[in-house]
Amino acid sequence: MEFADKLEKLLPEGQVLFHEPMGRHTTFQVGGEADYFVQPMERQVAPVIRLCREEGVPFQVVGNGSNLLVSDKGYRGLILAIGANMGQMELEGSVLTAQAGAMLSSAAALARREGKSGLEFASGIPGTIGGALYMNAGAYGGEMKDLVKEVHAVTRDGRTVVYTAETYAGGYRTSAVRRDGAIVLSASFALKEGTVEEITARMQELRRRRQEKQPLEYPSAGSTFKRPKGDYAGRLIEVSGLRGFQIGGAQVSEKHCGFVINKGGATAQDIWMLMQHVIRTVKEKQGVVLEPEVCCIGSFEDGEK
């Protein structure tokens, strides 16, 4: 039996998409076709990855695609999109349990309604619980690692693994999940008692700060580069004279130099070339090597990433 037939046996009809344009699944709104694209339910994740391994088909996990640059040539393999079919959440006392595909913003909204504090920082991050745990997403002084109680995941060879608050080991945009290449299925978080009024006020304040500083009106993947020690990528890019610098449809945002935006009609290659240009220029002019925060999938003109 062909791989596609075996895959379709594992998943209900219509759940396997072929030649799926990844521009539909990334906030940059760019990216070529994935050979296979599936949005599994939790119990289907391990069987799908086992099948990929048995058949030698490469696979890649994505969440909401808000920190992703997928090549215009797409992905030769299977994209495992952990999203809508794994979006359940519940709050019991101060413990929030969520499947990996739940959106951070929905988790923060649930916590707010119930007067539980801790997720305010995450309300404006457009990612899933799984993507945020992989990255140890953070903003305005908060990070996922501050809240983690347990993370349930599977390894790339299909074994179950549970991370605790200690073994999750979140660092700056990294975690044990990332280091192990594990796939998050669900997680629980310890929140604190708060008041709906205070939590709402904090979220509104953070939303206002984002709207004021960030080019939210354009497709992007948030901060394109990691913050170098003791400085800010945006500041280094600005003093290197790159504000508004453009390659094709990709631009260093005029509003916030730390963001590469899709100004209109950008290709993934435009974004990739602009990122390389920024890295080279900042290195030449400031002596600092910027590291991308954005995760790249597929191959680009100057090499496999």
Among 126, 234, 258, 298, binds ligand FAD (CB under 6 A): 126
Say how far apart CA 48 and CA 7 lie, in whole Å.
7
From the list 33, 112, 123, 173, the catalytic residue is 173
Beta strand segments in 181-235, E: 183-190, 192-193, 220-223
Token readout for 33 is 């076709």
The least distance separating ligand FAD from the CB of residue 62, rounded to whole angstroms, comes to: 4
Exactly one of 7, 52, 79, 125 binds ligand FAD (CB under 6 A); which one?
A: 125
> Residues in contact with ligand FAD, total (CB under 6 A)?
31
- 223 catalytically annotated: yes
Residue closer to ligand FAD (CB basis): 216 or 282: 216
DSSP state, residue 139: E
Establish if 68 lies at the interface with ligand FAD (CB under 6 A). Answer: yes
DSSP H/E element including 268: helix 268-286
Residue 46 binds ligand FAD, judged by CB under 6 A: no
Report the DSSP pairing between strands 75-81 and 33-38. parallel
Residue 275 main-chain phi, psi, to 5 deg = -60, -45
Distance CA 235, CA 227 (A): 10
For 41, other C-beta atoms within 10 Å of its C-beta total: 13
Contacts of 198 (CB under 8 A, 6+ apart): 117
Range 15-34, binding ligand FAD (CB under 6 A):
27
Which CB, 137 or 268, lies closer to ligand FAD?
A: 137
CB of 164 to ligand FAD, least distance (A): 17
**Shortest approach of ligand FAD to residue 162 CB, angstroms?**
14
Closest approach, Cβ 300 to ligand FAD, in A, equals 16
Q: Which of the residues 66, 175, 223, 240 is marked catalytic?
A: 223
Report in angstroms the alpha-carbon separations of 123 from 106, 110, 126, 174, 227: 8, 10, 8, 20, 21
Which is closer to ligand FAD, CB of 44 or CB of 128?
A: 128
Query: Whole-number minimum distance, CB 165 to ligand FAD, in Å?
Result: 18
Per CB under 6 A, the list member of 59, 75, 134, 272 interacting with ligand FAD is 134
Q: Does 220 bind ligand FAD (CB under 6 A)?
A: yes
Among 16, 216, 257, 261, binds ligand FAD (CB under 6 A): 216
Q: How many CB atoms lie within 10 A of CB 173?
A: 18
Query: Of residues 33, 120, 143, 293, which has the active-site annotation?
Result: 293
Task: Return the number of the residue (151 or 247) whose C-beta is nearest ligand FAD.
Answer: 151
Q: Which two tokens stand for residue 188?
A: 């629980």
For residues 20 and 74, give the distance between their C-alpha atoms in angstroms, rounded to a whole number: 9
Alpha helices in 114-170 (DSSP H): 129-135, 165-168
Q: CA 124 from chain center: how many Å?
A: 13
Binding segment toward ligand FAD, per CB under 6 A, in 107-115, 126-134, 196-204, 226-234: 126-134
Please select the residue that binds ligand FAD; options are 31, 32, 40, 65, rule is CB under 6 A. 65
Query: Can you tell me whether residue 183 is helix, strand or coil?
Result: strand
Q: Which residues bind ligand FAD (CB under 6 A)?
A: 27, 61-68, 82, 100, 125-128, 130-132, 134-135, 137-139, 177, 183-184, 216, 220-222, 295
Catalytic residues: 173, 223, 293
